[in-house]
């Protein structure tokens, strides 16, 4: 059955959804390769799970902002198409699991009806723009970054410069110098500042997690607000052109920056200025209408003997910068919320709070603009829903990814160890709910979805061999997160221990810190003072495999013996290796160039034409078995290998001059029409070259080329 749309779904979203439906059909009938389809669906928020035949659908919520009605819509979609669960992520998205591929277009259409998108939630694109969940109400913010985070999301959504990069690209906007959105681990991190009465941002670039985490470097102490988006656009264009595309583990921007250095990187960014669609981009202040202050209610204190209610008030409630209004933070175990709970929460929001819920980077939620006289009643309603657990964003509140429950790449159970650690801390360290210094983060593998590398105490799933047997393990990382100076640090890998000894490791670490840290000493400062070897020796007895028991070979939340079952990761698209498929992609990009040219979007048309050149040249190089890597390398190699051949350029350097003219010309109509025309002619030459080659060689692949041309 064809997808059903309501009038609220935009024309752009309809095209995307119908295209997804068409590609699903082509894939299921064998007309589209698995690799091509994988890359396509990932950029539409559809991610293959560990379990065959089902998908994880990632819902893109810019800076985690969501209304009560949108929360209900997502809950309804989870009941209808998934498992009745909403999983909040560290990137402020919500994920639904176990969705049938055939259901994804209709699910997407019903979300778009509520102004929610899946577009570019996964894949080699600009991922969800994260932002401080306290933005707009943060007592320490110089201004509300909410409209800026949304404008960045909106500017790069469907933007041709970031549809098919070498890897994903992540942006964050923090609300204050505390960098609560972790700008220092992002490709671009913005921190708001006011200089000489003007709004702007400190800019960090080149951060990233994964197996080899890098802290971001400071690009600017301050850029004016209207320069932020043009700067990010130029950065993405440089990453798109020079970033690695073959070696997936080296394809993040952090490696490009590390290879060429910050000065050269910024020089290349500056060289993109002529081609930018906007040299400045003024962001309209669309902050939520601020409620009048209620100074008479400021400094409110609960009058109750209920110890749990008092603990909740101290750890989960804070007064906003708007005097007399309070925000409530919801601690959510594993980031998972049943759909029935989500619908009831939406009702609670409508009665007690502003219609502006924020998903947090530690997988919780924040409600805002609550009157202090309503706090106790709100607590009881949240408590009935299981959403009033004290200790939000404290040591007791562990951040985790789903791990082996659903993810292809996970090695051991994240959910299982998280449950056990939280239970242990509640029973043995009840006062830990008041500790805001130590943050614990867990991932199912080294790739860092749980952000373990920026934890004060982090764990990632792994395995250990003991003779012929394999057991689940945890890599312990220490010293990340923020120190006493507010500096963001990357954690050190200290030791690997059997997973079943995870609680023992955390118990040792917490007791050691309590016994030996100076008064008021931050955990990462304590780690730095003692040194890595101190903690290695402290935990070394737990790594002794001579004392293993049978239970150590069984992972948390499991009853069967552990085996390592790591699938193919989908965090970035797989490189396409069929010439016909690559030519098909080039045709698509040329069609997009024609469409945007007709709409008067000249900068977009120019970039689509540029991508047509790149993809066509890549296809041609594949016919000669020339390996392709960066876009810059593709152009250089084509220039060298095809000079004077079959209707191509006659002198080396001609092709490069045409293609790389994009950053030397203003995006005018005349230049756009010229470049689109040249790209069309070039693609026809590549197709003719390929057809002639197949005729000469008598290759059966001629049929593939013909099919690509017909489509």
Helix axes 34-42, 11-28, angle to 10 degrees: 160
Q: What percent of the chain has pLDDT over 70?
A: 95
CB atoms within 10 A of CB 427: 8
Distance between the two ends of the chain, CA-based, in angstroms?
23
The whole-number average pLDDT for the span 115-140 is 96
Give the whole-angstrom CA distance, residue 116 versus residue 128. 12
Reading phi first (left if > 0) and then psi (alpha if -120 to 50, else beta), residue 65 is in beta
Reported as half-sphere exposure (CB side, CA atoms, 13 A), residue 410 has a value of: 24
pLDDT at position 706 over 70: no
What are the pLDDT digits (tens) for 173-209? 999 999 999 999 999 999 999 999 999 999 999 999 9
Which residue carries 């002529």 as its tokens? 274
Give the whole-angstrom CA distance, residue 277 versus residue 667. 7
Confidence of residue 669 (pLDDT cuts 50, 70, 90): very high
Which CATH number is correct for 130-275, 1.10.3720.10, 3.40.50.2000, 3.30.413.10, 3.40.50.2300?
Answer: 3.30.413.10
CATH 3.90.480.20 region(s) of the chain? 11-112, 295-384
User: What does the block give as tokens for 554?
Assistant: 């069984």
At 573 the pLDDT is 36
pTM: 0.91
Instruction: Share the mean pLDDT of the chain.
Output: 92
The better pLDDT of the pair 34, 345 is held by 345
User: What does the block give as tokens for 166?
Assistant: 């070498």
Closest CA to 356 of 135, 178, 509: 135
At 572 the pLDDT is 41
Give the whole-angstrom CA distance, residue 210 versus residue 161. 24
At 416 the pLDDT is 94
Which residues lie closer than 8 Å to 662 by C-beta, 6 or more apart? 275, 606, 607, 610, 675
Helix (H/G/I), strand (E/B), else coil: 106: helix
Q: Class of the 399-553 domain?
A: alpha beta
Residues constituting the chain: 711
- Contact at 8 Å (CB) between 283 and 129? no
- Contact at 8 Å (CB) between 553 and 563? no
Give the whole-angstrom CA distance, residue 149 versus residue 96. 24
What are the pLDDT digits (tens) for 49-58? 888 889 999 9
Which helix H or strand E contains 496, and what residues bound it?
A: strand 492-498
Confidence of residue 564 (pLDDT cuts 50, 70, 90): confident
Give the whole-angstrom CA distance, residue 360 versus residue 356. 13
By DSSP bridging, strand 317-319 and strand 188-195 are unpaired
What CATH number is given for 11-112 in this structure?
Answer: 3.90.480.20
Q: Chain-centre distance of CA 419, in angstroms?
A: 24
Helix (H/G/I), strand (E/B), else coil: 223: strand
The better pLDDT of the pair 450, 581 is held by 450
User: What does the block give as tokens for 160?
Assistant: 């041709």
Strand ranges of the sheet holding 399-400, from the earlier edge strand across to the other edge = 399-400, 440-443, 457-466, 469-478, 492-498
User: What does the block give as tokens for 331?
Assistant: 């601690």
At 1 the pLDDT is 56
Confidence of residue 577 (pLDDT cuts 50, 70, 90): very low
- Contact at 8 Å (CB) between 63 and 149? yes
Helix axes 375-384, 339-352, angle to 10 degrees: 170
pLDDT at position 701 over 60: no
At 287 the pLDDT is 64
Helix (H/G/I), strand (E/B), else coil: 687: helix
Give the whole-angstrom CA distance, residue 96 versus residue 84. 8
Give the whole-angstrom CA distance, residue 461 versus residue 416. 11
What are the pLDDT digits (tens) for 131-190? 999 999 999 999 999 999 999 999 999 999 999 899 999 999 999 999 999 999 999 999
Give the whole-angstrom CA distance, residue 515 versus residue 677. 72
Confidence of residue 698 (pLDDT cuts 50, 70, 90): low
Which CATH number is correct for 579-710, 1.20.120, 3.40.190, 1.10.1740, 1.10.3210?
Answer: 1.20.120
Give the whole-angstrom CA distance, residue 88 versus residue 449. 12
By DSSP bridging, strand 171-173 and strand 188-195 are parallel
Q: Which of 3-12, 486-495, 636-645 has the lowest mean pLDDT?
A: 636-645
Give me the phi and psi of 513, to 5 degrees please: -65, -45
At 559 the pLDDT is 87
Beta bridge pairs of residue 410: none
CATH 3.30.413.10 region(s) of the chain? 130-275, 399-553
CATH 1.20.120 region(s) of the chain? 579-710
The whole-number average pLDDT for the span 546-552 is 92
Closest CA to 89 of 170, 206, 145, 4: 170
Q: Which of 81-85, 99-103, 445-449 has the lowest mean pLDDT?
A: 445-449
The better pLDDT of the pair 406, 453 is held by 453
- Contact at 8 Å (CB) between 304 and 376? yes
What CATH number is given for 295-384 in this structure?
Answer: 3.90.480.20
Q: What percent of the chain has pLDDT over 90?
A: 79
Beta bridge pairs of residue 347: none
Strand ranges of the sheet holding 55-59, from the earlier edge strand across to the other edge = 46-48, 55-59, 94-99, 85-88, 336-338
Give the whole-angstrom CA distance, residue 526 versus residue 456. 10
The whole-number average pLDDT for the span 22-26 is 92
At 711 the pLDDT is 46
Confidence of residue 656 (pLDDT cuts 50, 70, 90): very high
Confidence of residue 703 (pLDDT cuts 50, 70, 90): very low
Question: In 269-398, at which residue ranges do the beta strands (DSSP E only) sit?
Answer: 317-319, 326-330, 336-338, 357-359, 365-370
Which residues lie closer than 8 Å to 516 by C-beta, 6 or more apart? 526, 530
């Amino acid at each position: 059955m064809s997808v059903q749309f309501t009038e609220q779904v935009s024309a752009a979203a309809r095209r995307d959804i119908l295209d997804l439906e068409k590609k699903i059909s082509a894939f299921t009938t064998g007309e589209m390769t698995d690799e091509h389809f994988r890359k396509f669906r990932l950029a539409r928020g559809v991610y293959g799970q560990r379990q065959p035949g089902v998908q994880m659908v990632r819902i893109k919520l810019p800076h985690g902002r969501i209304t009560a009605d949108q929360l209900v819509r997502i809950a309804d979609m989870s009941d209808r198409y998934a498992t009745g669960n909403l999983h909040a992520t560290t990137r402020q998205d919500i994920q639904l699991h176990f969705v049938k591929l055939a259901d994804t277009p209709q699910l997407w259409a019903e979300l778009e009806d509520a102004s929610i998108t899946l577009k570019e939630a996964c894949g080699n694109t600009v991922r969800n723009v994260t932002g401080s969940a306290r933005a707009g109400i943060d007592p320490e913010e110089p201004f509300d970054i909410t409209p800026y985070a949304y404008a960045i999301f909106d500017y790069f959504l469907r933007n041709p410069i970031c549809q098919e990069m070498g890897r994903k690209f992540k942006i964050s906007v923090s609300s204050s110098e505390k960098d609560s959105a972790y700008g220092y681990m992002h490709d671009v991190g913005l921190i708001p500042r006011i200089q000489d009465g003007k709004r702007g941002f400190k800019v960090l670039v080149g951060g990233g997690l994964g197996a080899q985490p890098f802290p971001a470097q400071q690009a600017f102490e301050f850029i004016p607000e209207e320069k932020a988006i043009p700067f990010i656009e130029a950065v993405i264009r440089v990453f798109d052109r020079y970033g690695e595309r073959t070696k997936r583990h080296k394809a993040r921007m952090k490696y490009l920056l590390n290879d060429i250095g910050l000065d050269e990187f910024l020089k290349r960014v500056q060289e993109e200025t002529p081609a930018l669609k906007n040299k400045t981009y003024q962001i309209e202040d669309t902050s939520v209408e601020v409620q009048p202050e209620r100074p008479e209610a400021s400094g409110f204190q609960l009058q109750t003997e209920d110890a749990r209610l008092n603990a909740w008030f101290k750890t989960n409630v804070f007064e906003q910068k708007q005097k007399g209004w309070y925000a409530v933070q919801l601690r959510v175990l594993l980031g998972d919320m049943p759909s029935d709970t989500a619908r009831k929460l939406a009702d609670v929001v409508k009665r007690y709070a502003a219609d502006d819920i924020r998903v947090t980077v530690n997988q919780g939620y924040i409600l805002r603009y609550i009157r202090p006289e309503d706090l106790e009643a709100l607590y009881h309603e949240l408590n009935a829903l299981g959403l009033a657990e004290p200790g939000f964003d404290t040591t007791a509140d562990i951040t985790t990814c789903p791990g082996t429950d659903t993810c292809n790449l996970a090695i051991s159970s994240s959910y299982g160890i998280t449950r056990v650690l939280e239970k242990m801390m509640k029973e043995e360290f009840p006062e830990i709910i008041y500790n805001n210094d130590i943050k614990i983060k867990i991932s199912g593998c080294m790739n860092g979805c749980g952000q373990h590398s920026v934890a004060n105490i982090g764990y990632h799933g792994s395995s250990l061999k003991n003779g012929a047997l394999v057991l689940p393990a945890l890599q312990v990382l220490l010293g990340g997160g923020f120190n006493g100076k507010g500096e963001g640090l990357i954690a050190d890998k200290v030791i690997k221990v059997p997973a079943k000894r995870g609680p023992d490791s955390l118990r040792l670490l917490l007791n050691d810190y309590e016994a030996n840290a100076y008064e008021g000493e931050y955990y990462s400062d304590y780690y730095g003072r003692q040194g890595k070897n101190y903690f290695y020796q402290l935990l070394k007895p737990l790594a002794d495999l001579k004392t293993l028991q049978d239970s150590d070979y069984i992972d948390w939340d499991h009853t069967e013996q552990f085996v390592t079952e790591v699938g193919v990761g989908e965090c970035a698209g797989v490189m396409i290796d069929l010439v016909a498929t690559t030519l098909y992609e080039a045709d698509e990009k040329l069609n997009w160039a024609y469409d945007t040219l007709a709409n008067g979007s000249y900068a977009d048309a120019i970039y689509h034409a540029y991508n047509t050149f790149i993809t066509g040249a890549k296809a041609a190089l594949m016919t000669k078995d020339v390996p392709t890597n960066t876009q810059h390398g593709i152009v250089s190699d084509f220039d060298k290998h095809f000079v004077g051949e079959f209707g191509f350029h006659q002198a080396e350097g001609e092709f490069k001059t045409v293609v790389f003219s994009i950053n030397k010309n203003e995006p005018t109509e005349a230049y756009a029409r010229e470049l689109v025309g040249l790209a069309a002619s070039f693609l026809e030459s590549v197709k003719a070259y390929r057809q002639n080659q197949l005729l000469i060689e008598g290759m059966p692949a001629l049929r593939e080329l013909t099919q690509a041309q017909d489509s």
